[in-house]
Structures are given as structure tokens and as C-alpha cells.
């Protein structure tokens, strides 16, 4: 079974304006929609679209939390969220106008007893399970939360995927995660460099691998993706043709496609191809990738 963890999920309220956002004035929308957000939730949604059974874990609160949970279940996503006693699941406002503006909510506070419930859920994982940890840690939790999770899972045969930035990512490498997925800019930030060539990206990926990561998947937006696998082999994939409509969730979709592909065939070339198709399908859509869009793009790679 695949499990994802989203510590601070959100309902994204997306509004479209006919022109630029006008300050100190009434702005009227031309289109609006809501999406159930959070990096782990995005991974779960795309895994579900690909027919991969998975469970979304994390924390929800209040009426907005119930709305998010019910909405995901209506989409066929299996959830096992922990319900917090106080606060509400956040609503983020995404304004798409002449420019894009985001207003992200704070989210509810997660206490020690709440984390103990999540720990109890993770304690049930074992050989054959996979766990995706994606995104930042809320300010109410310790900065070493990911490390504590990996320590607890160490030696239990769980394939852990970590999609995070800077110290949050670097500090878990010693626990040999199955996969890490920085983008090329995040990878460069770790080493204080701007990476412009495949050779530079591969060299930095190899340094993270030397610190413990088994597989390093680097997303590069319109330039495709590069994978340095655990056998030291570099795999490279371009992107299919299409118009970019959305950048939100594309990296999460790539993680979902890669993990689904690897679990299907145990083949890194296939995993990278499916991951690229899934990431591109989201980038070329207004929402997250559908199975139909993924299959359409997969046929072109």
C-alpha cells in the first residue's frame, strides 16, 4: 500500500479576473473553482487516477476539513485523516489575473497528542509499503519531524519518498530514502550554485546519493527530468509538446507517476516516462492530471 502524508492540507479557492488585480477596488471574477490541495494530497489524487490504491494521511479540522475529506472521498481517494479538536483546515486564495497572486492560510495547530496518532498509523507500515512525505513542516511542529519519522521506519522495509527543500531534505539522506525529488533550482540551492547543464545536475545528484539517497529524481520544468538511479545510471527524459496552463501540482504528479511506474514494473526507465507524462499532464491542465491526459502524453514519449 502507498501512503501519503499532508500535514497542512488546504482548499484552494481559485479565482480568475479579466485583467490585473485592482487594489482598493471591487474585482469581479470571470471564473472560479476550488481544488483540494496539499502536496501529499496531490500525489494521492494522481495515484488514484492511475489506478494505484493508496491512503492519504494527515490532519484536518473544522467544517472545511470535513468538506475536504468528503470531496476527496467523492473523487475516489481513500483517506484516514486525523481530526483536530480546534481550528479549521485552511483556505488558500489563488488569484489568476494579469499576474498570479496567492494568499495562503495558516492552518490549525497540531499538538503532541495529534502527532502521536499519526505515529501510531505509521507504525503499521511494513515491507511492501511506500510512504510519501511531501512539502514543508508547519511552524507548530519541530523542524526534524521528517527525520523522526524515518528513524522510526528504519529497517522495516518501507520505501520512503521525500519531496522537500534544503535542510528538510538534506537531513533525511542518512536514512536512505528510496527517492528524493528536488527540482533543478532546489538542487542548486543546496550547494549554493546555479545549475545549467545535465552534467552539473548529475554531479550534484551524485553528491546527494553519496549522502544516502538511493534514487534522485530532478524535475526541470520545460526541460524535462533527470534521474540518477541507485545503480549509478543516469536516465534523461524530455517533455511532450503542449501548452503550460498550470504549474501547481506538476512536481507532485511526477512523483505519483514515477512511484506508480516503478511499482508496476520495477523499471526505472518506465518509471521516469510515466512520471514525466503525469507531471506534464498536470502542467497542461487547469487541475490535476487525469488518466486520459496521462495516457495521451505517454503515447508521445
Q: What are the residue numbers of the active site?
A: 252
Question: Who's near 48: CB < 8 A, 6+ residues apart?
Answer: 54, 75, 76, 77
Distance CA 90, CA 9 (A): 7
Supply 66's cell numbers: 470535513
Does the CA dihedral 174-195-243-270 come out positive or negative? negative
Distance CA 89, CA 108 (A): 6
Q: Which of 282, 283, 261 is nearest to 272 (CA)?
A: 261
Amino acid at each position: 500500500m502507498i501512503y501519503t502524508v499532508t500535514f497542512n492540507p488546504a482548499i484552494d479557492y481559485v479565482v480568475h479576473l479579466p485583467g490585473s488585480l485592482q487594489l482598493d477596488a471591487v474585482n469581479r471574477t470571470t471564473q472560479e473553482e476550488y481544488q483540494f490541495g496539499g502536496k501529499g494530497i496531490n500525489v494521492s489524487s494522481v495515484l488514484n487516477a492511475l489506478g494505484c490504491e493508496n491512503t492519504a494521511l494527515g490532519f484536518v479540522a473544522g467544517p472545511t476539513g470535513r468538506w475536504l475529506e468528503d470531496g476527496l472521498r467523492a473523487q475516489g481517494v481513500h483517506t484516514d485523516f486525523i481530526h483536530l479538536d480546534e481550528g479549521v483546515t485552511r483556505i488558500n486564495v489563488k488569484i489568476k489575473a494579469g499576474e498570479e497572486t496567492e494568499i495562503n492560510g495558516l492552518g490549525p495547530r497540531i499538538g503532541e497528542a495529534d502527532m502521536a496518532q499519526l505515529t501510531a498509523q505509521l507504525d503499521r507500515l511494513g515491507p511492501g509499503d511506500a510512504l510519501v512525505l511531501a512539502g514543508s513542516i508547519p511552524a507548530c511542529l519541530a523542524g526534524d519531524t521528517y527525520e523522526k519519522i524515518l528513524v522510526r521506519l528504519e529497517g522495516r522495509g518501507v520505501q520512503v519518498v521525500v519531496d522537500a527543500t534544503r535542510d528538510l531534505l538534506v537531513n533525511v539522506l542518512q536514512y536512505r530514502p528510496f527517492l528524493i525529488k528536488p527540482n533543478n533550482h532546489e538542487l542548486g540551492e543546496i550547494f549554493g550554485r546555479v545549475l545549467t547543464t545535465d552534467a552539473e545536475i548529475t554531479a550534484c545528484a551524485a553528491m546527494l546519493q553519496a549522502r544516502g539517497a538511493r534514487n534522485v529524481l530532478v524535475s526541470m520544468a520545460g526541460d524535462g527530468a533527470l534521474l540518477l538511479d541507485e545503480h549509478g545510471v543516469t536516465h534523461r527524459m524530455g517533455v511532450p509538446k503542449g501548452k503550460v496552463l498550470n504549474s501547481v501540482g506538476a512536481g507532485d504528479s511526477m512523483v505519483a507517476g514515477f512511484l506508480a511506474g516503478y511499482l508496476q514494473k520495477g523499471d526505472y526507465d518506465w518509471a521516469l516516462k510515466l512520471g514525466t507524462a503525469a507531471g506534464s499532464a498536470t502542467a497542461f491542465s487547469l487541475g490535476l492530471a487525469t488518466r486520459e491526459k496521462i495516457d495521451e502524453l505517454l503515447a508521445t514519449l
